[in-house]
Amino acid sequence: MRLLDRYIARQVFISAMFAVAVIIIILVLGNVFKEILRELAKRPDLSLGFIFKFIALIIPVSLSLAIPFSFLTAILLTFGRLSADSEFVSMRMAGLSMTRICLPVLGLALFFTSICAWVNLSVTPWAKTEMEGMKDSLFNYMKKEPMLLFPNQQVMSELDDHLVYAKKKDGMLKEFQMVKMENNMPQAIAIAKEASVAVELDKADPELLLEMREVSLMVQGEDGNFMQSSQPVFMEEAIAGVSVGKLQRKGVEDKPSNISLRRIIGKATDPDLDPATRTVYRTELSMRMAFSVSCITFGLIGVPLGITAQRRESTAGFVMSMTIAVSYYVMLTLAQIVQREENLYPHILVWIPNLLFFVLGVYLFRRLSKR
């Protein structure tokens, strides 16, 4: 009997690990790497340590989603193959009940639930806080090398109400162009042969200083729009200061998804908070816990679906698991949309997907047991 337990547990566990790797590498890190390569193309001087730290922090955030859905995929694949190879029929003919056959799955479900609880309640909030903290790293890089802030021959939009385009060469910004915007409309345009960059961080509002040479300026007049009222002005040299205060993080923002378990419990039960804010924290706490126990729900529904599907092909199991996962996630998202509506009890609504799939799983499991 222990041999059978080890056999089923090993098949499900190995399939789950492969599924986790596929989901993280292809579905999650694939997009991350694309964004990272784009940023490296814009800012080739960006430290590789900075990039690798960002990737390392993305992985635990991804695990909170990847583990439950990978566990479901593994069960569908494993029990679908057992059914297609008539191994499941052999187990039943040997007098084993459905409950006894699925005992290893229950053990794995509890194991993955504990991992998910640890990731969702502790690791993910810490990782998100660290990712917010990486804004400080970018600001510190700018202290050492202000040119790092500017991409090469691409439009830069990170500065408030400013668009900048330039070619980086010999420590200067060549063919420099800058547009100052207000309400998405141009207020001033500066075109310079070259510009040097410096920063003044000691001010209350830190500034990026752009010292431009051979500058053509166009500034909107008091009457009419920019095209009608602006007049070109040529200057040998000009200095423009642009605020970079928003690039400097003044403490990690106290978002519900970032704070630790102890703090979120405290805020969810704090009578001094307004009801809408308290409901947001309650919903976030319920979301973390609901995602954690989803492994048990998916295990219960995955076994009967995997057996009745009777498919050896991995595609069928993967498609079925993605369908269930998308349905589950959509229902959670709908509950999260109304997280500030206290009268709708969103912290209870987030448990509805688990409840629905649990009831469906119990029904399918009992029906399969009577065969």
- Three-state secondary structure of 180-214: EEECCEEEEEEEEEEEEEEEECCCCCCEEEEEEEE
* Max avg pLDDT among 60-64, 106-110, 310-314: 106-110
Determine contact, residues 288/120, Cβ cutoff 8 Å. Answer: yes
Domain carrying residue 12: 2-141+254-369
Do 137 and 55 fall into the same domain?
A: yes
pLDDT of residue 156: 79
**DSSP-assigned states of every residue in 18-85:** HHHHHIIIIIIHHHHHHHHHHHHHH-TTS-HHHHHHHHHHHHHHHHHHHHHHHHHHHHHHHHHHHHHT
Do 93 and 25 fall into the same domain?
A: yes
Let me know if residue 148 belongs to a domain: no
Task: Tell me the pLDDT tens digit for each residue of 228-257.
Answer: 677 788 888 888 888 776 655 544 456 777
Determine contact, residues 238/217, Cβ cutoff 8 Å. Answer: yes
Let me know if residue 60 belongs to a domain: yes
Q: What's 103-121 look like in SS3?
A: HHHHHHHHHHHHHHHHHHH
Between 29 and 83, residue with greater pLDDT: 83
| pLDDT higher than threshold 50 for residue 312 | no
Do 136 and 269 fall into the same domain?
A: yes
Between 99 and 205, residue with greater pLDDT: 99
Do 269 and 231 fall into the same domain?
A: no
Query: Could you say which of 208, 243, 278 is where a domain stops?
Result: 243
Q: Which amino acid is at 352?
A: I
Let me know if residue 341 belongs to a domain: yes
In angstroms, the first-to-last Cα distance of the chain is: 22
| Cα 121 from Cα 115, distance rounded (Å) | 10
pLDDT of residue 110: 92
What are the φ/ψ torsions at residue 55 (nearest 5 degrees)? -65, -45
Do 259 and 129 fall into the same domain?
A: yes
Tell me the average pLDDT across 296-324.
71
HSE (side-chain half, CA atoms, 13 Å) at 305: 24
Let me know if residue 154 belongs to a domain: no
Q: Which amino acid is at 295?
A: C
Tell me the average pLDDT across 3-19.
86
Do 238 and 130 fall into the same domain?
A: no
pLDDT of residue 202: 67
**DSSP-assigned states of every residue in 203-271:** SSS-EEEEEEEEEEEEE--SSS-HHHH-EEEEEEEEEEEEE-GGGS--S----TTTS-HHHHHHHHT-T
pLDDT of residue 113: 92
Let me know if residue 180 belongs to a domain: yes
Query: Could you say which of 193, 224, 243 is where a domain stops?
Result: 243
Tell me the average pLDDT across 296-314.
74
Determine contact, residues 173/150, Cβ cutoff 8 Å. Answer: yes
Radius of gyration over alpha carbons of the chain, in Å?
A: 28
Task: Tell me the pLDDT tens digit for each residue of 30-81.
Answer: 656 666 666 666 556 666 776 777 777 778 878 888 888 888 888 888 888 8
Out of 203-212, 294-303, 309-318, 341-350, which region has the weakest mean confidence (pLDDT)?
A: 309-318
Share of the chain above pLDDT 70, in %: 81
Mean pLDDT of the chain: 79
Instruction: Give residue 259's region: left, alpha or beta (phi > 0; psi -120 to 50).
Output: beta
pLDDT of residue 158: 72
C-beta neighbour count of 56 within 10 angstroms: 11
Determine contact, residues 285/268, Cβ cutoff 8 Å. Answer: yes
Do 259 and 341 fall into the same domain?
A: yes
pLDDT of residue 264: 83
Share of the chain above pLDDT 90, in %: 2
CA separation, residue 360 to residues 76, 291, 294, 329, 370 (Å): 16, 18, 13, 17, 16
pTM: 0.67
Do 277 and 238 fall into the same domain?
A: no
Do 186 and 319 fall into the same domain?
A: no
Do 312 and 195 fall into the same domain?
A: no
Let me know if residue 259 belongs to a domain: yes
Do 268 and 342 fall into the same domain?
A: yes
Let me know if residue 155 belongs to a domain: no
Q: Name, in order, each residue with C-beta under 8 angstroms of 143's C-beta and a sequence gap of 6 or more.
A: 199, 201
Domain count, the chain: 2
Do 99 and 131 fall into the same domain?
A: yes
Let me know if residue 146 belongs to a domain: no
Q: Which residue has the tokens 């978002």?
A: 255
Query: Could you say which of 243, 276, 305 is where a domain stops?
Result: 243
C-beta neighbour count of 68 within 10 angstroms: 27
pLDDT of residue 111: 93
| pLDDT higher than threshold 60 for residue 315 | no
